[in-house]
Amino acid sequence: MEKQEIRTFGRRHGKKLSARQTRLIDVVLPTISYKNIQNNDKIILEIGFGAGEHLRELAIKNTDKIIIGAEPFINGVASLLSSITNNSDDILPEYSNIRVWADDVRQMLRDSELKFDEIWILHPDPWPKAKHEKRRLLSAEFLNTLGQHLTQNGEIIIGTDHWEYYEWIVDQSQKTNLTRQTPEINTIKTRYQNKNMAGTDAPKYLILTKPLPASPQPAK
Ligand SMILES: C[S@@+](CC[C@H](N)C(=O)[O-])C[C@H]1O[C@@H](n2cnc3c(N)ncnc32)[C@H](O)[C@@H]1O
């Protein structure tokens, strides 16, 4: 029997969706599934996109790539869909490269062999109480899974203003074979960053990459 996974997100549903949002979820969402993407497409994944501000920015900056967003919070998905469609519910041309998985990203990664050039995770739920720590998504096990879905030069980009969670992620990354850099990154402020839930001023960032492939040994 498959091990029951610990849930890493809070609620899936917030306040009641408007009639338009319900229609977008029922009619538009199925048309932008990630399932018909080819593995030779260049793909960026954003995990836990919230209301989708950063996902939209990725779409506009990377017109040659497919941008997949994974988010189980249905109200967040509805906000994204509202912001990428016109009054006739057509996807705006500048967002035609967006695809959405409206559920737990771990399920999507299990069911697909897609490789990503970039994987973004901004302000993952910190689960600050000790008794909830096991709900933190960015465990060594999960980082290893992400590593398996990276292209050879791909990058996992993580940002959080919860500095204790940041240190925990650094610690988890040391239990993987991924290589770590701590760059300066400027992204637009997402909804969670604006709330500055952690009370710190600035998010800290971390980039994880795959180790270089071993170079072939010269013949003796
Ligand atoms: C604190 S919010 C941050 C949202 C957004 N990135 C921002 O900065 O505004 C974390 C988000 O991660 C999502 N999340 C948590 N676990 C997830 C999982 N297993 N798969 C996909 N998304 C997840 C939650 O639903 C939530 O929307």
What is Dmax (Cα atoms) for the chain? 72
Report the CATH superfamily, name and number, of domain 19-209.
Answer: Vaccinia Virus protein VP39 (3.40.50.150)
User: Where in the chain are the domains?
Assistant: 19-209
What is the distance between the alpha carbons of residues 125 and 161, in angstroms, rounded to a whole number?
A: 11
**In this model, does residue 169 exceed pLDDT 50?**
yes
- Annotation says 64 is catalytic: no
Structure tokens at 131: 């008794």
pLDDT number for residue 202: 84
From the candidates 41, 125, 161, 171, which is the catalytic residue?
125
How many angstroms does the Cα of residue 183 sit away from the middle of ligand 1?
Answer: 22
pLDDT number for residue 33: 95
Q: State which ligand 1 atom lies nearest to the alpha carbon of 73.
A: 25
What residues flank ligand 1, with Cβ below 6 Å? Answer: 8-9, 47-50, 70-73, 76, 104-106, 122-125, 137, 190-193
For the chain, what is the mean pLDDT?
A: 92
pLDDT number for residue 1: 45
Strands (E), 71-127: 98-101, 116-122
Q: What is the pLDDT of residues 175-190, one digit of tens each?
A: 999 999 888 887 777 8
Mean pLDDT of 107-133: 95
Mean pLDDT of 61-72: 98
**70 in Cβ contact with 8 (< 8 Å):** no
pLDDT number for residue 40: 84
pLDDT number for residue 3: 65
